[in-house]
Amino acid sequence: MRCRSLPSLAAIVVLLLTGCESHAAASGVVLMYHHVDSSTPAVTSISPTVFREQMAFLEREDVHVMPLFDLLAALAEGEAVPDRSIAITFDDGYRSVLTEALPVLEARAWPFTVFVNTEAIDAGYGGYLSWDELRLLGRQGATIGNHSVTHTHLVRRTTDESEREWRLRVTSEIVDANERLESEVGDYLVPVFAYPYGEYTVEVKSIVREQGLYAMGQQSGAIGVSSDFLALPRYPVATGLEPDDFALRIRSLPLPARFVGEERHIVGDDDRPVLRLALDENDDIRRDALACYATGQGAMAIEWRSSEMREFSARAEQPFRPGRSKVNCTAPSRANAGSYYWYSHLWMRPLSDGRWYDE
C-alpha cells in the first residue's frame, strides 16, 4: 500500500494566497496515547477516568475527529480539512485500547489508529492485544499502523555493524513488520509508520521514504501542508498533563518552519546545539512573541537573522543531558486568541563513553 505524494509547492502556494473557507483549515492535531490504565507506568499512561474526561472535552469543543491517514493524505496534497481536525493514535498495541479506550471512542463513532510492533503480538506478550483483538478493533473503526518488528532504537548501530548492515537491519524492521501486518490485518492497515521511542535521524527518514510511508514522531506540534511528512509531530498524552495544557495542544497550529543548513538530531557531550529555522510567510504569526524552550533548561536565547524576522536561531544555554531532549518553539496567533503556532525539534545525546542511554 502506498501513500499519496508529498505536498507540491503549487498546492502550498495556492493555500497561502487564497486561504480557506471559515469551516476549513490547512492543519490538524494528532494525539498519542500508550496505556489507558492506572496501574501501568505513569510516563506512558493515562487513567481511564482522565481519558474519558479528555474525550468529553473534545466533544464539547466540537472538534472533527478524522482517520489518521485521511488527515495526513489530505494535508500532504495541500488540501483543506475541516476546522479543528484531530486524529487519535495509540502506540504499541496494549489491551487497554480494547478494554478502556474502545468503548469511549465507539460511543462517539470516532476513528483511531493503533501502531503495532509485531513481535510483541506474535509472542503473546502480557498486556498486549492479540491479532484477533486487533481485527476486532478494525471492525469497530480502527486502522493499524507499522511500529517496527521489535520496537528497537532505529538510530543506533550495534557493535561492529557497518552502515550497510545497519540500513539492511532497519529496512527489515519496517518491511517485515509491514508484511506481517498485511497478512494479519491487511484490511485495516494504513501506510503510516511510527518511530519507536519517537527517535529518527535524516538517515532513518531516508529508509522510511524508500518504503513510501508517512512517519510519525513523538515531538510536539500540529501538522500543516508544509510539515515534514517523514517526521510528523504528535502530542504525547500521559499522567500529569493538566486540562489547560491539553486544551492548549488541541488549539495549536503548525509553525511553518524549515531548516537553515543541516538537519541534525544527535549531539555530543560539549555540544550546545543551535536550531536555525526559516519561517514561511504568514501574517497571523506574532513573530515578536516567538519563544523557544529546551528540555530541562527553560527559555532559550532567540536571535533573528534578518530585519523581516524570517529566520532565527535558538541556542541551548548548556549541553543537553544524555537521553532525548526537545526544543519547543511557539508563537501566538493574532486572529485566534489562545492559539499558538508550535514547532518541536528532537535532539538525542549518547553517554560520554559513546554508549547509548538505557530506557
CA gap 256, 33 in Å, rounded: 25
pLDDT at 238: 96
Closest Cα to residue 341, out of 66, 12, 29?
29
Q: Quick one: pLDDT band at residue 12, thresholds 50, 70, 90?
A: very low
Over residues 31-51, the mean pLDDT reads 97
Non-local (6+) Cβ contacts of 245 within 8 A are: none
Return the higher-pLDDT residue of 23 and 42.
42
Non-local (6+) Cβ contacts of 178 within 8 A are: 146, 189, 211
Domain 259-349 adopts which CATH fold? Immunoglobulin-like (2.60.40)
pLDDT at 157: 94
Q: How far is CA 13 from CA 9, 45, 149, 223, 270, in A?
A: 6, 40, 39, 17, 41
Record the pTM. 0.92
pLDDT at 72: 98
**What pLDDT, in 10s, does the model give residues 117-170?**
999 999 999 999 999 999 999 999 999 999 999 999 999 999 899 999 999 999
Q: What are phi and psi of 91, to 5 degrees?
A: -100, 145
Q: Quick one: pLDDT band at residue 200, thresholds 50, 70, 90?
A: very high
Cell of 301: 536565547
Instruction: List the CATH code of the domain at 9-251.
Output: 3.20.20.370
Query: Is the predicted pLDDT of residue 225 greater than 80, yes or no?
Result: yes
**What pLDDT, in 10s, does the model give residues 83-107?**
999 999 999 999 999 999 999 999 9
pLDDT at 269: 81
CA gap 164, 144 in Å, rounded: 30
pLDDT at 5: 39
Distance in angstroms between the alpha carbons of the first and the last residue of the chain = 33
Query: Hey, which residues does 79 pair with through a beta bridge?
Result: none
Percent of the chain, pLDDT > 90?
Answer: 87
pLDDT at 152: 97
**What pLDDT, in 10s, does the model give residues 285-342?**
999 999 999 999 999 999 999 888 999 999 988 999 999 999 999 999 999 999 999 9
pLDDT at 346: 97
Query: Hey, which residues does 259 pair with through a beta bridge?
Result: 277
Query: Is the predicted pLDDT of residue 177 greater than 90, yes or no?
Result: yes
Average pLDDT for the chain: 92
- Residue carrying C-alpha cell 481485527: 135
- Residue carrying C-alpha cell 466533544: 59
Query: 45-46 and 257-259: which strand pairing?
Result: unpaired
Cell of 59: 466533544
Question: Per residue, what are the HEC states of the chain?
Answer: CCCCCCCCHHHHHHHHHHCCCCCEECEEEEEEECEECCCCCHHHEECHHHHHHHHHHHHHCCCEECCHHHHHHHHHCCCCEECCEEEEEEECCECHHHHHHHHHHHCCCCCEEEEECHHHHHCCCCCECCHHHHHHHHHCCEEEEECCCCCCCCCCCCCCCCHHHHHHHHHHHHHHHHHHHHHHHHHHEEEEEECHHHCCCHHHHHHHHHCCCEEECCCCCCEECCCCCCCECCEECCCCCCHHHHHHHHCCEECCEEECCCCCCECCCCCCCEEEEEECCCCCECHHHCEEEECCCEECEEEECCCCCCEEEEECCCCCCCEEEEEEEEEEECCCCCCEEEEEEEEEECCCCCCCCCC
CA gap 260, 277 in Å, rounded: 5
Q: How far is CA 120 from CA 94, 99, 129, in A?
A: 10, 18, 9
What residues does each domain of the chain span?
A: 9-251, 259-349
Question: What burial class does residue 169 get, using C-beta atoms within 10 Å of its C-beta: 0-12 exposed, 13-18 middle, 19+ buried?
Answer: middle
Query: Hey, which residues does 159 pair with through a beta bridge?
Result: none
Cell of 181: 501486518
Query: 253-254 and 340-349: which strand pairing?
Result: parallel
Q: Quick one: pLDDT band at residue 24, thresholds 50, 70, 90?
A: low
Over residues 56-71, the mean pLDDT reads 97
**What pLDDT, in 10s, does the model give residues 250-290?**
999 999 999 998 999 999 887 888 999 999 999 999 999 99
